[in-house]
Amino acid sequence: MGRAKTYSRDTLVERAMELFWSHGFQGTSTADLVEHLGVNRYSVYAEFGSKQGLFRAAMALYQRRVTLRFRELEGPSAGLDEIAALLDFLATEAAEPWAGRGCFLCNVATECAPHDDSSRDFVHGYVDGIRGAFLNALSNAQARGDLEPGVSCEDHSHMLTSTVLGFWVLMRARVDHGLLVGAARAAREQLDRLRV
């Protein structure tokens, strides 16, 4: 009879996500994972199959968590005010001490996605989800007459998605906080110019 697990799978994924987020896939060895997770190598492989399997579980957890931030943009009443609130939140977040880690999946986009299909698929799904949330809020605003009728909601959802993802990449690079606050402010001003 096999021994009962002495760990929670969810806890392992949470801890692994933190390690991968801080150090990247290549910068995190299996030995690092074993030490940080507090389980033996056999348990990691039995639960996830490989380091890559654990990495995929960590990416999925992060994607679910960040998607919650965009939930306000996905409802039928979402509009320009919800987008503005998100931009304000990002400007505030950029000043937090932990902000230097940036966005885990943006980090994956630059480290792994160029040469790893699984990572690329996660990143593409993540970007599509964010773009879809912006598109929903913009389309709602236009349908209510809050947005100029000639404005391309599709193009502006692309612009906002690129702005947010670029914002997170610059956080990882630890650029001056004032640059990020200014970028968020300019994005808000651009949004205000589109209002009817």
Q: What is the pLDDT of residue 4?
A: 53
Domains of the chain: 7-58 (1.10.10.60), 70-193 (1.10.357)
- Rounded Cα distance, 167 and 70, in Å: 15
pLDDT at residue 95 in the model: 74
pLDDT at position 1 = 45
* pLDDT for the residue numbered 29: 94
Question: Looking at beta carbons, which pairs linking 70-77 to residues 24 or more positions away fall under 8 Å?
Answer: 70/129, 70/130, 70/133, 71/133, 73/133, 73/134, 73/136, 73/137, 74/132, 74/133, 74/136, 74/137, 75/136, 76/140, 77/140
Name the residue among 166, 16, 165, 140 with its Cα closest to residue 78: 140
Mean per-residue pLDDT pooled into runs of 10, the chain (196 residues): 69 95 94 92 91 95 88 94 90 76 91 92 94 97 93 96 90 86 88 87
Report the C-alpha gap between 152 and 48 in whole angstroms.
43
Token pair of 53, please?
């399997």
Q: What is the pLDDT of residue 18?
A: 94
Q: What is the per-residue pLDDT for 149? A: 87
